[in-house]
Every structure is written in C-alpha cells, then in structure tokens.
Amino acid sequence: MPFLNRWRSTLFTRVNFTIFALLAISYLSLNQYVAGRAKWVHSPLDVGDWLINYQGGFVRRGLAGQIFYRLFSGSHHDLGLTVMVFEAVVLTLVAITVGYLVLGSKSPWVAWIVLSPVAFVFSAYDTPGGFHKENLLILALALAAVATRTTPRLANFWLGVALAVFVLVLFSWEPAAFSLPVAWWTIGRTRLSTRHIRNWRYTWVTIGLVGFALSVLFHGSAHQTSAICQSLLTHHLSVATICTGSVQSLSITTGTELTFVGAHFPHYLWYIPWYLLTLLPFLFSGWLRRHWQIASAVGLANFLLFVAGSDYGRWIHILGASLALVWLTSDDRLRVGTKPSWRERIALVAFISLWSAPWSGNPELWKGLAVSAYRNLSHPIGFYYPWFYSTLVHALFH
C-alpha cells in the first residue's frame, strides 16, 4: 500500500494532468479540423490567408504564401491540404513545446492557466477561429520560452530558432509585432549575459518594428490581389473561391477597417465577460499584482488588436496564450501549493469546459468545450485518424 500511494502521488500530479489534458484536447482539435477538410481546404478566410504571395510584388502577409508558391507552383498541386497539414503540425508543436514548459511547475494554478479555454487549446473550442497564423506566433514565443530552461549556449540556439519563426509569422501576419512585450520579457528570463540579452532584445524589437512598418507601407492593392489570385489559379494551386476572403481583404484600406470595427463595436461588448474570465487565474493567484508591469505591457499591446480588427475571440486567445507564456517563465510557476481539494478539482473542470470566447461575431453567453466540441463531432474521438493519415500522404506526395 505505501508503494501504491507513492505511485499514485507521483503519477497523478497537477503537472501530469495538465500535460495529458493539453495533448488530449489538442488531439481533439486536430480531429475536428481534419474531419472537416471539405469545409476548410478551400476556405478563403483560413487557408486563403496562407496563400497570399509576392506574385503581384512585395505585400504584407505574403511570406508564407510565397514559400508555398515557390515549393509547389510547378507541381499543379492543390495547396489546401498542404496548408491544413502545416497548420496541424504547428498546433502539435505548440502543444509539445508548452507541455515541456509545464514540466517542473509546482504552482496549483498551472492547469488553470495552461488549460484556459482561450489559451493553448482554443482551437478545440472554436475550430473556425483556432487555425490561423497566430498559432505560428504562439509557437515562436513558446520556443523563445524554451531558452529560459537551458544553458546559455542552447539558449542562443533556441532564441535563434524562435526568431526565425517570428520573422516568418511577422511577414505573414503583421499584428505579430504586438507580441514584442512578451519576447522582451522572455529574453530577459534566460541565463544569458546582460550584453547578450540586450542584443537579442534589440534585434527582436528592431525586426518587429521594421516588419510592421513595411506592412503599413505595402498594405496591398486591387492589382496585387488580382495577381495573387491569377498565380494560384494558373498553376492550379487552388480554386476561384480562394480569391475572396483574406486575399481580397488586402486591398481594403486601414480607414475602412477601422470604420467597420467602430460601427460594430457595441456588438462586441459581449466579449467583456470572456476577457475577465481570461484574467481570473492570474488575478486570484496574485500573479497580476506581482507582475503588473509586464501584464500591463502585454495587455496594452494586445489592445491594439481590438482596435484594428473585429475577431475579438482571437484577440482574447492571443492575450490568454501570451500571459500564460509569461507566467510559465516567471517564478510563480515554482510556488508550491497545497494538495488540491475536491472543490478545486470541480472548479477546474468547470473552468476548462463551460466557456470560451467565440472567435468573431456576437458570442453566445454559454459556450464551452461541452458545446463547441460536440457540435463539431459526428463520430467518436479517434475516428478521424485515418482521415489525417490520408490527408498527410495526399498533401505531401501528390
């Protein structure tokens, strides 16, 4: 019995539960996404956003699409499935990397923060909003966080990898520049010398500001959207519907976007409860009080997204993931807590499963994993593994 008790106390820990739930829910979101491939493969908003390229000249958000174009333009290969596989790989890497960052945590709040419905498992709650370019941004920031757990030599390596991913997402989705406070904080938590930390910070910030400035200067035009569309159709990389949505939105002026958000803003006040729920674990744990400076910087930078675009659920998701990564690289993760009571366990399950922030529009007041995930499933979990396998093979070898 003593051996069994020790085994149970070692196996059934908050850290193990958090990692297992993170991987399991991520797997659920991949099932949902791949199962709906007929819906997403030519989605002008989701897949189309990844296919913006430079065939009409340099333009914001075009780097990822240009890479896809260079790799597959001579193959007459529909890129929809390839993009879906790429997004699935990115989400998988996020789950694995965050799982690694959870190791060693002693705080009773680790599961609350990592498994928040708007943090790293957002895609399982709202599939249409959960597979966008911000997942690549979260991966870049998570890889930078890995550098805080390594020796200085390896820290430089991981920061280099993270910066490369950040460059890819910055020139593919310019709001990635609003994550600079998270990168600034994370770099400062590494074991590097003061000089190396300063150099990395200045490099990251300079690239972020230059990338954002270039996106403003090369906002996009109707001529460029037409050229992008023709490049995709001429090489049979997609179908005509891909030319609407994200590709077409390149030619929409900033003024028009701001006017749209302003006109619909009262509609978005429903998101305030979800924003507050996002902050609850950070507030009740005392983390916000102890780290109000970095929390304020992250919040102010994130607020710019709410001004520039209407996908408020996605912006809350980015805020939740950003604060979670800052928390995972702070000393709070090492604060030892008491043994969880049955009340805490029930509250945690309720927090994880009974709410989320729908990615856009007027959110329902009661929508969580129990509702969102169920609506996207028509078969048992695991049924879609053959779908993913066939999708992977088709995307890579046909």
SS (H, E, C) the chain: CHHHHHHHHHHCCHHHHHHHHHHHHHHHHHHHHHHCHHHHCCCCCCHHHHCCCCECECCCCCHHHHHHHHHHCCCCCCHHHHHHHHHHHHHHHHHHHHHHHHCCCCCCCHHHHHCCCCCCCHHHHCHHHHCCCHHHHHHHHHHHHHHHHCCHHHHHHHHHHHHHHHHHHHCCCHHHHHHHHHHHHHHHCCCCCHHHHHHHHHHHHHHHHHHHHHHHHCCCCHHHHHHHHHHHHHCCCCCHHHHCCHHHHCCCCHHHHHHHHHHHHHHHHHHHHHHHHHHHHHHHCCHHHHCHHHHHHHHHHHHHHHHHCCCHHHHHHHHHHHHHHHHHCCHHHHCCCCCCCHHHHHHHHHHHHCCCCCCCCCCCCCCCHHHHHHHCCCCCCCCCHHHHHHHHHHHHHC
Whole-angstrom distance, CA of residue 61 vs CA of residue 247: 10
At residue 182, the pLDDT reads 98
At residue 7, the pLDDT reads 43
Is 315 exposed, middle or buried, given 0-12, 13-18 or 19+ CB atoms closer than 10 A? buried
Report yes or no: 353 and 370 within 8 Å, Cβ to Cβ. Answer: yes
Retrieve residue 320's tokens.
């939740």
At residue 382, the pLDDT reads 42
At residue 277, the pLDDT reads 94
- pLDDT averages per 10-residue partition of the chain, 398 residues: 48 87 91 80 91 96 96 86 93 97 95 96 89 97 98 96 98 97 98 97 98 95 95 92 91 85 80 93 95 97 92 95 98 84 89 87 63 51 47 55
Retrieve residue 286's tokens.
């005392």
User: From residue 252, how far is each of 211, 230, 255 by CA, in Å?
Assistant: 19, 19, 8
User: From residue 192, how far is each of 104, 150, 206, 233, 351 by CA, in Å?
Assistant: 21, 10, 20, 49, 37
At residue 396, the pLDDT reads 56
Report yes or no: 260 and 309 within 8 Å, Cβ to Cβ. Answer: no
13 backbone dihedrals φ, ψ, rounded to 5°: -110, 165
Retrieve residue 35's tokens.
């199962």
Which tens digit of pLDDT belongs to each residue from 63-83? 999 999 999 988 878 899 899
Whole-angstrom distance, CA of residue 236 vs CA of residue 66: 15
